[in-house]
Chain A
Amino acid sequence: MNIENTKAQMKKGVLEFCILSVLSSGDQYPSEIIEKLKDAKLIVVEGTLYPLLMRLKNDGLLSYRWEESLSGPPRKYYKLTPVGKQYLKELKTSWNELVEAVNKTIEKK
């Protein structure tokens, strides 16, 4: 039993959902995603993001395209695939259910 581990697992579960949500508002490249997640205090270290993005891409939820940048090398812009959009929708529903259920449990105490 390791509480840090539990905390991390809890965050990790919602992290995917959050990435997808962030991307639902438009295509973004990793630094922008990181910025938003950091603001929300969902991630502490950036390194966490890359493996996740990779997995989401491999699972077909995300795709990316290269875009030239003015200030440096080309950037990788991630976007949701149709499957990803569907996935996000389902996650949103189950998230709301979960929040409700959890809150109920906590308040009952």
Chain B
Amino acid sequence: MVLSVLASYLALVLGIGLFGHRLFRGTGEDFFLASRTIGPLVLLLTVFGTNMTAFTILGASGEAYRRGVVVFALMGSSTAVLVPFLIYYLGIEAWKQGKRHGHVTQVQLVRHRYGSDALGALLFAVVVALMLPYLLIGVKGGGDALNALTGGPGVGLPAWTGSLLVCAVTYVYVSYGGMRSSAWVNALQTTVFVFFGVAAYVAVMSEQGGLAAAMDRLREEHRAMVAFGSDRFTVLQMGSFVILPLCTGAFPHLYSHWLSARSARSFRLAVVAYPVLIAAIWFPSVTLGAAGRLQFPPPLDGPILVKMIVANTGEILAGCLAAGVFAAIMSSLDSQILALGAMFTHDIVRHYGFQGTLREDRQVWFGRLFVLAFLALAFACSLVASQSIFALGTWALTGFAGLLPMFAATLFWPRATAFGAASSILTVVGLWVWFFWDSLSVEGAYSIGGTGLMPVAVIVPAATFSLVACSWLTPPPREYGIQ
């Protein structure tokens, strides 16, 4: 039954994705940006859906199972406060610049702003490298979820089948319909995982005697799970979690969605509704994960959310959950691979030699082939990756957060120079490698020297300092930025 519901859902997704192809105008701008025609509601659902990954659905509940309800603050409300402001500042400005100058990718923006080819190449390499672990979250999450939903380790379908399914379905509708299909499917998928999430939550919590009863039991049996003080945070440590959502402002796939907007007014709904939607997704995810501690004592073999649904509801709802999880995963994966395809097509194929000599449809094919190769690589890596989804995600997000000062300066600070931008990117790369290497000595550790301070809290200020210092030490740009 689980597989039947899931198969029906995937067929629906493919149908909508392929329908999007019927409106395809045959140009690169239409394929990668839907000819900049996306309206407010679809923009909201697609931007939100893009940011909701397996990291949110499976990672957050898993982390809440280990640490308690504090996870809502660490990753939920911090995102709800920061991300809408990033859309307000960076999204609108990026859209304006992109519309005015015909940008499709971040690398085009940076090359145009600083007039540096090498800087664009550096940024391309760093963004692609960071996208691999971020893509892995979705690919690996799909495999883990399908395995758990069909019986768990040793019994259920092997994880690689779920990973392969996610990759194949996403690739088909993205490569066929481009941004328009991706946006429409994202709108559907966001609706699906919100709707199924609420249905599953109500069903599971009813089995627990209601939310209040579950929290009361949790308070009695595991007091630390309901008080934030359990982790002995300092204000500085807690504050470092507000920095991590900065990554959203540097995601190449979110940049693509911003540029696909019909007008600046299209952003208004996304700015206002984002925090409430975040709360609507993270609250059930976190409370279910924490309540899971009552029913499944450690050690846990599989995603807690899936185990709770399977143990407390019928097979149809479990199938709906599978659809919801796959929706969350694919609504991010499609945007990510489309953005990668756009980058490869515009920043490599068109930029280095094929501009004017290769038809637009052929250039799009280059993007499709690159995406196929990249997905194959991500799938192969998912077979051997051992870190938890949350840990994988956190490291990828850290790198993107480090790139934010450079992007913000590119859009808003006329005095920023190519040397400043390059030094900022190189600072991020150097510190990221150093901290990641250091963390390997302690499995899954994400703090500097065991202090609890997250690496992102050091990388972002260091990248900012490097940007400002090198910009002031080098001659100002000839034309103060994009006029």
Task: Say whether A associates with B.
Answer: no
